[in-house]
C-alpha cells in the first residue's frame, strides 16, 4: 500500500505498507521510471516492523545512556528497553509444548504430538508456528509438518520441525532419555 502524504515541488512524502524484503530505495527508482522521470530516495523513516512501532523504539543515544547507567549500577532504564521474545510473535499461530518436551526442542528435536498440550490459531502444513511453553515463553519457531486441523495434542506423530530455537538448552529439565546401545558381551 502506498499513500501520498505531501508534495512540495519535486519532493514527495509517502507512506508504504509492505512485506519484509521490500526495498524502498528501489521502489522510489521504479516509481520514477513509471512517471518518466529520474527519482531517488532522500530519507527513510521506518515507523513499524512487524508488531513493533515507533512508540516502543528508542534512539541510539537513549540506548547508549541506558547502557552507561547499567554499567554504573542502574540497570532499570536498560531493562525497560528490552522486549521479551514473545512480543515478536503475537500474530503467529502457536503450538504449546509440555515442560518435558521443551529441552528436546531446544536440542533441535522434531516435536511429536505427544509433546503438545494445545494449539492456538489455524495453520497449514509448511507454515511457520511459534513453539511456546505452558508458561507462554517462546521456545522458538518451527515449520508445521501437519495442518492445525490434523494436529491432535497428545497423539503420536511428528508435527513441528524447529527452524529457529531461541531458548537455551537446559532452561527446562530434560524430559527425554538417551538410548545407549548395549556394547554386547
Q: What predicted TM-score, i.e. pTM, was given to this entire model?
A: 0.71
Domain shared by 153 and 131, yes or no: yes
For residue 33, what is the domain's CATH number? Answer: 3.30.70.3190
Residue 170, in any domain of the structure? no
User: Could you report the per-residue pLDDT of 60-107, keeping only the tens digit for each?
Assistant: 999 999 999 999 999 999 999 998 899 889 999 999 999 999 999 999
User: Residue 176: its pLDDT value, please?
Assistant: 67
Domain residues for the domain of 112 are: 86-165
**What is the chain's mean pLDDT, rounded?**
92
- Dihedral sign computed on CA atoms, order 71, 77, 79, 81: negative
Strand 94-97 with 128-132, pairing: parallel
Domain shared by 75 and 112, yes or no: no
Q: How far is CA 54 from CA 15, 92, 133, in A?
A: 14, 21, 29
Domain shared by 90 and 72, yes or no: no
Residue 175, in any domain of the structure? no
Domain shared by 106 and 155, yes or no: yes
Amino acid at each position: 500500500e502506498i499513500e501520498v502524504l505531501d508534495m512540495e515541488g519535486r519532493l514527495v512524502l509517502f507512506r508504504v505498507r509492505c512485506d519484509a524484503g521490500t526495498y524502498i530505495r528501489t521502489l522510489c527508482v521504479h516509481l520514477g521510471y513509471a512517471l518518466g522521470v529520474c527519482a531517488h530516495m532522500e530519507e527513510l523513516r521506518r515507523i513499524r516492523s512487524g508488531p513493533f512501532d515507533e512508540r516502543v523504539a528508542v534512539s541510539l543515544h537513549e540506548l547508549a545512556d541506558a547502557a552507561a547507567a547499567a554499567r554504573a549500577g542502574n540497570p532499570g532504564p536498560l531493562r525497560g528497553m528490552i522486549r521479551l521474545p514473545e512480543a515478536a510473535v503475537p500474530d503467529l499461530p502457536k503450538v504449546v509444548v509440555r515442560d518435558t518436551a521443551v529441552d528436546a526442542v531446544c536440542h533441535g528435536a522434531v516435536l511429536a504430538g505427544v509433546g503438545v498440550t494445545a494449539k492456538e490459531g489455524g495453520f497449514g502444513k509448511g507454515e511457520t508456528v511459534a513453539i511456546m511453553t505452558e508458561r507462554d515463553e517462546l521456545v522458538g519457531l518451527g515449520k508445521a509438518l501437519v495442518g492445525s486441523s490434523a494436529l491432535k495434542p497428545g497423539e503420536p506423530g511428528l508435527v513441528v520441525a524447529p527452524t529457529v530455537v531461541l531458548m537455551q538448552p537446559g532452561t527446562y529439565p530434560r524430559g527425554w532419555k538417551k538410548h545407549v546401545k548395549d556394547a554386547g558381551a
